[in-house]
Amino acid sequence: MTNTLYDALIAPHADNEAVFLECDDSTRLTYARFVRRAAQLAHVLTEAGVSPGDRVLVQAPKLSDTIALYAATLQAGAVYLPLNTAYTQAELAYFVEDAAPTLVVCDAQEEDAIAEIAARVSAKVLTLAGDGGSLGRAADGQFETFETVARAPDDLAALLYTSGTTGRSKGAMLSHKNLLSNAEVLTELWQITARDRLIHALPIFHTHGLFVALNTAFLSGAEVRFMAGFNLDAIIDALPDATLMMGVPTFYTRLLDDLRFTRDLTRSMRLFISGSAPLLAETHQAFEARTGHRILERYGMTETNMITSNPYDGARVAGTVGYPLPGTELRITDPETGALLDKGEIGMIETRGDNVFQGYWNMPEKTAEELREDGFFLTGDLGIEAEDGRVSIVGRAKDLIISGGYNIYPKEIEDVLNDVDAVAESAVFGVPHKDFGESVIAAIVPMPGKTPDIEALKAAAQDALARFKHPRDYVVLDALPRNTMGKVQKNILRQTYGS
Ligand code: MCA
Ligand code: AMP
């Protein structure tokens, strides 16, 4: 029986007594112990009725058991569906109803509220918590081996939701091959080995913290300093013994703001990697001036895993995202006509390869819009390719705000605000923000003769949307700026309110 991802990432560690995770409380979990724990969890999954191909929806804290649940889901042949822990019940309800999971795993504290939502699709609910939760406790008494369920390279391994310009989140279907091929390429390119010690402060419900960071650790057998979240003091403490760090640009600007962050502190570091949002050239330069390290910037998407990377050996150029990864094709096309553009011309970044997903869950029309018949995926990012193939991202064709590495689609927020009393229409846009890169502002146009209640707008956002999506400011306008075609000119709003 073969199971593409499990056999490559997890199974080889069955007898590996090296440390996999060191947690905040200094507890250390070996790879071998981790493999046994995943097997115990896999038994609970099958007892809960999870069959091959079923979705296991997970909105759980960042614990070693949560990673073991990812491995267990793979071993049981099911599809791992992780969700941001900041999502509200309203957001969660959409994902549960859309994905129809067999099992929902949540934080023990959320169990009652989530049980009601899970019941709508007859899903079972189990919990994870620092003290085990019902899933952790059920796993404790299980056998420490589990007969791995066969899965082929094209079978689904994960379903990751990504918001869309239409306001409805889309489930990106990622196969075993999609995830494994990307992990193999990155491990080799970034020369990750069992001698590495990775600082892991990212969330584990997105591609960056889950696949880029952890799949490469599994492949290489690296040790992971596993932090519950971004904590400056913990990172400063961990740096002298670390070799590798992956983060969003906010991580690096926050480190630079701390005087304890010095060349000496980073002496044992081999590589700092940045992604998920643009790294300002000034951050890149300040980082090198302070530490002597040149941050390696790479570019990717949920649907495509990683697409490009600056080189490990060779010039890491600030403001560029490097070259297409081995096995990944990239081309730049005219966003209107789809025609291929020449090197040096700005256009839509398209990519094709084993990295590119299988389509959107239950959304064949959306899939057809974004995934061409020849296999190229339209990223919605605008880029330029230099003569030597080096790629720079210069903008976005999609209406998207990236705040602290989290994607925020204005349409989703506008839909919520437009439903509030006295609101005729709204436009949500991003403005530069020192810490998060961008932050969210809402322009509100009232109905004639009416005054919208800002508190009501905030309350609507509170009920419907995760906190990181909430507008940080509201401006009330008589009308939105529009071009002759009637399209709202968000660039004018950004310029006007950018400061
Ligand atoms: C937290 N808050 C935010 C954000 N994070 N607001 C806007 N944008 C954010 N990203 C809010 C909280 O709700 C809270 O609001 C206040 O800011 C402070 O919260 P706190 O928890 O203290 O913040 P933090 O823990 O310091 O978090 C900031 C963070 C975190 C470390 C930058 O957002 C983070 O880990 N981001 C990484 C996201 C990520 O992994 N992205 C990868 C996506 P209040 O106090 O007002 O209630 S994968 C991807 O994009 C592709 C595939 C790729 O290429 O990687
Ligand atoms: P997501 O859909 O959450 O996976 O986010 C993917 C988006 O993040 C991409 O389409 C880009 O717009 C953005 N992104 C990721 N890495 C970078 C980067 N290094 N520079 C600029 N934007 C990036």
pLDDT score of 74? 98
- What separation in Å is there between the alpha carbon of 210 and the centre of ligand 2? 15
Label residue 286 by pLDDT band (50, 70, 90): very high
Average pLDDT over residues 294-304: 98
The DSSP symbol for 359 reads -
Looking at all shown ligands, the one closest to residue 303's CA atom is: 2
pLDDT score of 163? 82
Average pLDDT over residues 164-179: 90
277 within ligand 2 shell (Cβ under 6 A) = yes
Whether 1 has a pLDDT exceeding 80, the answer reads no
300 within ligand 1 shell (Cβ under 6 A) = yes
Whether 322 has a pLDDT exceeding 90, the answer reads yes
pLDDT score of 339? 97
- What separation in Å is there between the alpha carbon of 28 and the centre of ligand 1? 27
Average pLDDT over residues 338-362: 97
**Per residue, what are the HEC states of 277-303?**
CCCCHHHHHHHHHHHCCCCEEEEEECC
Q: What angle do CA 309, 313, 318 make, to 5 degrees?
A: 50
φ/ψ of residue 232, rounded to 5 = -55, -45
Label residue 313 by pLDDT band (50, 70, 90): very high
- Specify whether the CB–CB gap between 37 and 65 falls below 8 A: yes
Report the 10 Å Cβ neighbour count for 217: 27
205 within ligand 1 shell (Cβ under 6 A) = no
Label residue 131 by pLDDT band (50, 70, 90): confident
Whether 334 has a pLDDT exceeding 80, the answer reads yes
Indicate the helix (H) or strand (E) that contains 111: helix 111-119
pLDDT score of 306? 98
- Tell me the two tokens of residue 468: 């990181």
Label residue 117 by pLDDT band (50, 70, 90): very high
Please state, rounded to an integer, the average pLDDT across all residues of the chain: 97
Whether 165 has a pLDDT exceeding 80, the answer reads no
Sorted by sequence, the CB contacts under 8 Å of residue 459 that are 6+ apart come out as: none
Domains contained in the chain, CATH given? 4-152 (3.40.50.12780), 400-497 (3.30.300.30)
User: In Å, how far are 159, 382, 386 from 343, measured between CA atoms?
Assistant: 34, 13, 6
φ/ψ of residue 457, rounded to 5 = -65, -45
pLDDT digits (tens, 9 = 90+) for 193-222: 999 999 999 999 999 999 999 999 999 999
Whether 431 has a pLDDT exceeding 80, the answer reads yes
Nearest partner of 205 among 108, 357, 83, 107, judged by Cα: 83
Report the 10 Å Cβ neighbour count for 237: 14
pLDDT score of 499? 79
pLDDT score of 340? 98
Average pLDDT over residues 452-481: 97
Whether 358 has a pLDDT exceeding 90, the answer reads yes
pLDDT score of 298? 98
Whether 465 has a pLDDT exceeding 80, the answer reads yes
- What separation in Å is there between the alpha carbon of 174 and the centre of ligand 2? 17
357 within ligand 1 shell (Cβ under 6 A) = no
pLDDT digits (tens, 9 = 90+) for 71-109: 999 999 999 999 999 999 999 999 999 999 999 999 999
396 within ligand 2 shell (Cβ under 6 A) = yes
- pTM greater than the 0.75 cutoff: yes
Label residue 168 by pLDDT band (50, 70, 90): confident
For ligand 2, mutation pick of 276, 321, 360 (most atoms within 8 Å of CB): 276
Nearest partner of 344 among 308, 386, 383, judged by Cα: 386
Whether 132 has a pLDDT exceeding 90, the answer reads no
Burial class (CB in 10 A: 0-12, 13-18, 19+), 27: exposed
- Alpha helices (H) along 157-277: 176-189, 207, 216-220, 232-238, 249-256
Average pLDDT over residues 13-26: 98
Nearest partner of 72 among 60, 56, 96, judged by Cα: 56
Burial class (CB in 10 A: 0-12, 13-18, 19+), 474: middle
Percent of the chain with pLDDT over 70: 100
Burial class (CB in 10 A: 0-12, 13-18, 19+), 370: buried
Whether 166 has a pLDDT exceeding 80, the answer reads no
Ligand 1 atom 55: the closest Cα is on which residue? 276
Label residue 394 by pLDDT band (50, 70, 90): very high
